[in-house]
Amino acid sequence: MASNQRERQLAREKYERQQARRASSAKRRGQRQKLVAAIVVVVLVAGSLAVVFISQRDNSDPAAVAAASQAPAASAPAFNCTPPIPARPDDQSWASAPAASPLSSSPAKITLVTNCGDIVISTLPTEAPLTVASEIFLVEQGFYDAVSCHRLSTAGIFVLQCGDPKGDGTGGPGYEVPDENLPATGTANYPAGSVAMANAGPNTNGSQFFLVYEDTTLPPGYTIWGTITAGLDIVRQVAAGGVVGGGSDGPPLKSITIETATAQAG
């Protein structure tokens, strides 16, 4: 009898210990669940506040937000090109070089009004009198009006080539002018801002010329006849746009066309 009572007592104590442990475990689980729930609530509230803040910021002044995301760096010049105008017909040609215009006898300014802005060239009549006379003549005849700049080079040679009404590098005015004012052989012998004639060999200068936008080293076979005094930043921005197809030489990706060219005493 005593033995049975002792066994029952031990069983009861074991049962009570098990219940106590279960109760303690349940209490701890409940505390953890409450803590997790509290953390979730905090995260959700914080996320909601972030969404509201961003939304209010965007809606408060959408124009300012758009300007901040799209505006160029403060140091970058504004650069806006309009669509290029249609090319003019290639219907102007002369059998021989023209007589010198009065404007070609002293320094003059040639302004190329392009769809990307104005580029101003100061001529060098003392150094290249025949070339300057030809360029002034072509400007006065409207030869450069509605003519694209068809070639851009961005590796080793940094030039934008213009002046071909055909647009493929083969056009010209029908006559040729001899070489003048050729620089010496050397590094950067065509410095940034130089304007020189493109050619098909010695003494074959026609209407095509190139604008040098960074110091460039070339064989000394290209007549330098002018200097860019305004708009060099435009040429550089066109160059920064790269070449069609991603190469380093070819039509510029940012199309630039001479809409009109004018000359005046400078």
pLDDT value of residue 51: 29
Transcribe 45-94 into DSSP letters: HHHHHHHHHHHHHHHH-HHHHHHHHHSPPTTSPP--PPPPPPPPPS----
Q: Six-digit token pair at 106?
A: 């002293």
CA distance 207 to 52: 62
Q: Where are the beta strands (DSSP E) in 88-169?
A: 108-114, 117-123, 147-148, 151-155, 157-162
Q: Look at 68 and 179; give whichever has higher pLDDT.
A: 179
Residue with tokens 């972030």: 50
Q: Six-digit token pair at 254?
A: 């940012």
Q: What is the tens place of the pLDDT at every residue in 119-131? A: 999 999 999 999 9
pTM: predicted TM-score of the whole model, two decimal places: 0.71
Backbone region of residue 139 per phi and psi (left: phi > 0; alpha: psi in -120 to 50; beta: other values): alpha
Q: In this model, does residue 166 exceed pLDDT 90?
A: yes
CATH architecture of the domain with residue range 102-265: Beta Barrel (2.40)
> What's the burial of 252, exposed, middle or buried (CB within 10 Å: 0-12/13-18/19+)?
buried
CA distance 190 to 182: 10
- Helix, strand, coil tally for the chain in percent (to 5): 35, 20, 40
Q: In this model, does residue 188 exceed pLDDT 70?
A: yes
Radius of gyration of the chain (CA): 38
Give the DSSP H or E segment for 262.
strand 257-265
Phi, psi of 173 (to 5 degrees): -90, 0
Q: What is the tens place of the pLDDT at every residue in 200-251? A: 999 999 999 999 999 999 999 999 999 999 999 999 999 999 999 999 999 9
Residue 40, amino acid? V
Q: Averaging pLDDT over each range in 23-27, 94-98, 220-224, which range is the top one?
A: 220-224
β pairing state of 249-250 and 147-148: unpaired
- The alpha carbon of 88 is separated from its chain's Cα centroid by a whole number of angstroms, namely 27
Backbone region of residue 152 per phi and psi (left: phi > 0; alpha: psi in -120 to 50; beta: other values): beta
